[in-house]
Amino acid sequence: MSSQELSIVIVDDLQFSRIVVKTALKKAGYNGVRMADNATEALTMLEHKPADVVLADWVMPEMNGLELTAKIRQGDEEKGTYTAIILFTANDGMEYLVRAFDHGVDDYLCKPPNPLELAARVNAAARVAAMQNDLLETSRRMSETIKHLQIMSLLDELTGAGNQRFLIRTLKTHIEEASTRHGGVCLALVELCELPHLRMQYGENIVNEILISQHRRLRRAVRPTDTVARLNDDSFGIIMHHTKVKDYKQASIRRVLTMIDNRAYKTSIGNLVISGRIGVYYYRGNEVIISAEELFKRARQKLQETHEDQSLKIAY
């Protein structure tokens, strides 16, 4: 996508700051720039026309940059899109950088931004957004190609994910491949802690809304090639296959938990804060081969450890 085609929204309560950024971007060839003087106005703009990149000040009245980021990510989740977000701030400490990234921000610039650096960061952010949207489109197309799984009773009708039978079948294939090529297979079982209580309090429809959102979040948290399935007890299973065992990183599991815990779930009765727990078992292809059922059992045992120790959110 060329710079002329990019849609950019600048959000800052200071008019001077907005104009400085817009002028720098126009000089760099970015013509599709809109400006908003507060987060609410920016969200309205995005409803009428999505943006590839949002540039927002961290400190703003009523709704700050991190809160705006959460709103944009919620909208992206509902629409199946991705918006790149860059925050401006006068703070340059490492703790601010970490905090921004933990809240889903793509990049971070100190004020006032250098015009050349600003243009380069916007270009990089736009590439990230384009790549993410391509992956989402690929995922949508892949979903279309697996509709025939309904006939084979391998699809969960509520979420559109594979079901437990599908997970076991897929697991068998990956175990055999890992054993042959000495790769690795990770099975992570993901559970929402409050789901039984919410079912009793609000009923099945609200739980179904949460499960649909949960599937979307898990799909965003993993690679397009990873398998996400809804299991019989309303937990989810994730299969991550690695051609080389060294490619497995526990950070990928922590990212899944962060995706669950960091933002409330939007439902028809309002936003509900929910926490997750995960049981993980990793099979290395140079070990004695095990069955898919045994691997599933060991991952289930790990998940049970998080029930027995409430302070434990992930058991490996």
Nearest to 123 by CA among 110, 134, 104, 107: 107
Structure tokens at 253: 């599991």
More confident position, 149 or 227: 227
What is the per-residue pLDDT across 258-282, written as a single tens digit (0 to 9) for each?
A: 999 989 999 999 999 999 999 999 9
Count of residues making up the chain: 316
Locate CATH 3.40.50.2300 in the chain: 3-141
Cα end-to-end span (Å), the chain: 42
Locate CATH 3.30.70.270 in the chain: 149-315
4 has pLDDT over 90: no
What is the per-residue pLDDT across 278-309, written as a single tens digit (0 to 9) for each?
A: 999 999 999 999 999 999 999 999 999 999 99
69 has pLDDT over 90: yes
pLDDT over 70 percentage in the chain: 97
- Calpha distance 312→301 (Å, rounded): 13
pLDDT over 90 percentage in the chain: 77
The domain 3-141 having CATH identifier 3.40.50.2300: the answer here is yes
More confident position, 175 or 90: 175
Q: Give the chain's mean pLDDT.
A: 92
CB 259 within 8 A of CB 220: yes
Quick count: other Cβ atoms within 10 Å of Cβ 141? Answer: 9
5 has pLDDT over 90: no
213 has pLDDT over 90: yes
* Alpha-carbon dihedral sign for residues 225, 230, 234, 238: negative
**What CATH fold (topology level) applies to the domain 149-315?**
Alpha-Beta Plaits (3.30.70)
Per-residue confidence (pLDDT) for residue 232, from 0 to 100: 87
Nearest to 102 by CA among 257, 310, 312: 257
125 has pLDDT over 60: yes
- Calpha distance 258→251 (Å, rounded): 10
Q: DSSP code of 58?
A: S
Question: Quick one: pLDDT band at residue 139, thresholds 50, 70, 90?
Answer: confident
Per-residue confidence (pLDDT) for residue 152, from 0 to 100: 66
